Structure 1
Amino acid sequence: MPHDTSPHSGRPSDLIGRQIAGYRIESEIGRGGMAVVYRAKDLRLDRTVALKLLAPELARNDTFRKRFTHESRVAAAIDHPHIVPVFEAGETDGVLYIAMRYVSGRDLRHLLDREGPLPIAAVTRIVGQVASALDAAHDHGLVHRDVKPGNILVAQGTDSDHPEHVYLTDFGLTKKSLSLTGFTTVGQFVGTLDYVAPEQISGRPVDGRCDVYSLACVVHEALVGRPPFQRDDDMALLWAHQYDLPPRLTEARPDIAAPADAVLARALAKSPDDRYDSCLAFVAALRTAATRAPATDHPPTEMDFGVAGNPHHPDPPPAPPRWALPVFPRSPATGEARSPQSS
């Protein structure tokens, strides 16, 4: 019985070694419900690329194909250091494909699985780059809709001050089109349930603040080791995103300053109007709040230097606290203190 050559069948494919649209497929590097990503060789320019092949049924939908062409062109026009560049997008033999830069490194999902919760400094470095990429896409009218650790590539940085160079991949080239063409069935939900914004669940219009919510879910997982909401089944998880309050960050990470709780709560607000207006604004607030010195539960200790400096000095009468002493301005002529009434 011949092998099924469809890359979307879920069974071993014989595409390895084959040529598609001028690319020779070398190995599979990622698989999702609607697409498979391969490492491939661009035979025309002799370079390695990431080749994403979409499910064949998508190419058969005229509305989707037109939207795909438009959004691919918009994504290819974005020149940003933290967005994986799109080299080409098209259709061949009834299959839609996207050729992107191949990034050597691991994604944040692998990093978290290996390292567990990360230091706050590392998290703010990583998500700061992601936020910059998201805001750039929003400026071009693109909303990612599927921000998650698996779509954040972490490559080696340039020096000790920049140990990571982060790329955001899998932009919503197809997400908006899917929602417009009826492909958002229960089995093909647009977005990943652990990070999906409430307005996506309810089918309301989305904008860049949808990505703010998802990025906040990623931040919570990177700092705590798990997403903000965990439930026994998908329906309970969807309910939690829409109605339950998120847990306090500092309950699991007491080493992080308490003001970070309010920052995460605002980014995870149920209504987009209550969130930060941009991803960079959220990360800036997080960086400021998380590094703020924790508040103390007692006032600073005051020392009586007259007694401390001479152990044989008799105990003086107790002095009134400094806040109880009136402070009057001094006369510029005599240097004597004067009350406000005498001026």
Structure 2
Amino acid sequence: MGETQPFAGRPSELVGRQIAGYRIEREIGRGGMAVVYRAKDLRLDRTVALKLLAPELARNDTFRRRFTHESRVAAAIDHPHIVPVFEAGETDGVLYIAMRYVAGRDLRHLLDREGPLPLTTATRIAAQVASALDAAHDHGLVHRDVKPGNILVAQGTDSDHPEHVYLTDFGLTKKSLSLTGFTSVGQFVGTLDYVAPEQISGKPVDGRCDVYSLACVVHETLAGRPPFQRDDDMALLWAHQYDEPPPLTSGRPDLPSAADEVLAQALAKSPDDRYDSCLSFVAALRAAVTAHGFRAERAPTRAAGTTTPGPPQPPPEPPLWARAVFSGPGRAPG
């Protein structure tokens, strides 16, 4: 890549900047360790989602190797509910991954806006995510970071399929930072609301850790909150490992009690006690509610005093670690 210069201007000035053959159009999301842009692939003239990872991840040799390997595996999976990966690489000490740009919002935004979802909607979304996860497991790939922010919800094809769901962020698994899943300063890299007990304790993981995380997501889509909520991170980590999850019906009393048993099995502390696949879990949930003649189509309304998000705010400055990789407008990378 040609010589780069730091970017210190207003967010709107990101338009036209280039990195690794992609021209930035606008920011579409960010987390503590990454920022995602809508960008134009200058070589193939297509719109992509370009995700940049924080440099500390690139400096970790184990993570960098696993990132490269798992990105290639993910790119080889042809599945309707997995976001296609076009390219993954490194430039100026920053790892990046280019994926299909999916028009729509993620499940996090949907839950923040609407709160608990109707059972039929929640199970439709869960089934599509489960199908993607099981396909990945068949290729020897474990996601390890299943959460609402990694589930994209696009418009479906018809009234029978009102949404089309994509799972994203394969190849960005955080467990490889160390045996315990913590960075050198003791910070867990990932999303604590959905992390499986074996990930926290540093035990070997397989597809059943994704079953646990998916169950946490399903619990939130139905009850409006993940199964465990604590005042601090360490208490939350403890809860995942040792506390029993609350019954789903405690937050969603309109559902039959049979759903509690399904969620309890999917959230079992030991992987051996969980369902052996994500689709088995979703099928069991559907069977449990169907057997009890459940037909409700509406989710509970939001609690009094709950507010919906206001109009979108202007995108923030790019994170400091991302600025140095941007070149000026019109300058192609060398």
Shorter-chain-normalised TM-score: which range? Answer: 0.7 to 0.9
Q: 1:56 to 1:186 in 2, by over 3 A?
A: closer
The residue aligned with 1:255 is 254
The residue aligned with 2:22 is 23
Is contact 2:62–2:177 with CA below 8 Å preserved after alignment? no
State the SS of the aligned residue for 2:217: helix
Q: CA deviation at 1:294?
A: 5.9
The residue aligned with 2:242 is 243
The residue aligned with 2:310 is none
Q: CA deviation at 1:47?
A: 1.0
Runs of 4+ in structure 1 off by over 3 angstroms are: 3-6, 11-16, 60-64, 179-183, 185-188
Q: 1:75 to 1:176 in 2, by over 3 A?
A: farther
CA–CA distance in 1 between the matches of 2:143 and 2:61? 22
- Specify the structure having the higher radius of gyration (Cα): 1
Q: CA deviation at 1:174?
A: 4.0
Q: CA deviation at 1:275?
A: 0.3
The residue aligned with 1:173 is 172
The residue aligned with 1:196 is 195
The answer to whether 1:268 aligns with 2:267 is yes
Cα shift readout 1:36-73 (whole Å, capped 9, x = no counterpart): 11110011111110001112233334443332221211
- Return the letter of the residue paired with 1:178: L
CA–CA distance in 1 between the matches of 2:180 and 2:266? 30
The residue aligned with 1:315 is none
The residue aligned with 2:221 is 222
The residue aligned with 1:105 is 104
Q: 1:182 to 1:222 in 2, by over 3 A?
A: closer
Cα shift readout 1:164-183 (whole Å, capped 9, x = no counterpart): 10000112434243236986
Cα shift readout 1:256-289 (whole Å, capped 9, x = no counterpart): 1221110000000011000000000000000111
Q: Which moved more, 1:236-245 or 1:265-274?
A: 236-245
CA–CA distance in 1 between the matches of 2:117 and 2:102? 22
Is contact 2:179–2:202 with CA below 8 Å preserved after alignment? no
> Which structure has more RCO (C-alpha within 8 Å, separation ≥ 6)?
2
User: RMSD value over aligned CA atoms?
Assistant: 2.2
Is contact 1:64–1:181 with CA below 8 Å preserved after alignment? no
Is contact 1:175–1:190 with CA below 8 Å preserved after alignment? yes
Q: 1:181 to 1:209 in 2, by over 3 A?
A: closer
CA–CA distance in 2 between the matches of 1:182 and 1:138? 20
Is contact 2:117–2:222 with CA below 8 Å preserved after alignment? yes
How many residue pairs get matched? Answer: 289
The residue aligned with 1:208 is 207
Is contact 1:28–1:38 with CA below 8 Å preserved after alignment? yes
List alignment gaps of at least 5 residues for structure 2.
Answer: 295-334
The answer to whether 1:127 aligns with 2:126 is yes
Q: CA deviation at 1:13?
A: 9.5
Cα shift readout 1:10-52 (whole Å, capped 9, x = no counterpart): x969644211111001111111222211110011111110001
- Return the letter of the residue paired with 2:17: R
CA–CA distance in 1 between the matches of 2:12 and 2:145? 27
CA–CA distance in 2 between the matches of 1:213 and 1:176? 15
Cα shift readout 1:302-323 (whole Å, capped 9, x = no counterpart): xxxxxxxxxxxxxxxxxxxxxx
Q: After superposition, where does 1:68-107 map in structure 2 within 5 Å?
A: 68-107=67-106
Is contact 1:157–1:164 with CA below 8 Å preserved after alignment? yes
State the SS of the aligned residue for 2:291: coil
Is contact 1:37–1:53 with CA below 8 Å preserved after alignment? yes
The residue aligned with 1:232 is 231
Is contact 1:258–1:294 with CA below 8 Å preserved after alignment? no
Is contact 1:33–1:188 with CA below 8 Å preserved after alignment? no
State the SS of the aligned residue for 1:97: strand
Q: 1:93 to 1:42 in 2, by over 3 A?
A: same
Is contact 2:82–2:167 with CA below 8 Å preserved after alignment? yes
Is contact 1:193–1:237 with CA below 8 Å preserved after alignment? yes
- Return the letter of the residue paired with 2:48: V
Q: 1:64 to 1:240 in 2, by over 3 A?
A: closer
The residue aligned with 2:33 is 34
Cα shift readout 1:80-124 (whole Å, capped 9, x = no counterpart): 100000001112233221100000001111111111111111110
| Aligned-pair identity (%) | 88
The residue aligned with 1:286 is 285
Is contact 1:179–1:190 with CA below 8 Å preserved after alignment? no
CA–CA distance in 2 between the matches of 1:166 and 1:173? 19
The residue aligned with 1:300 is none
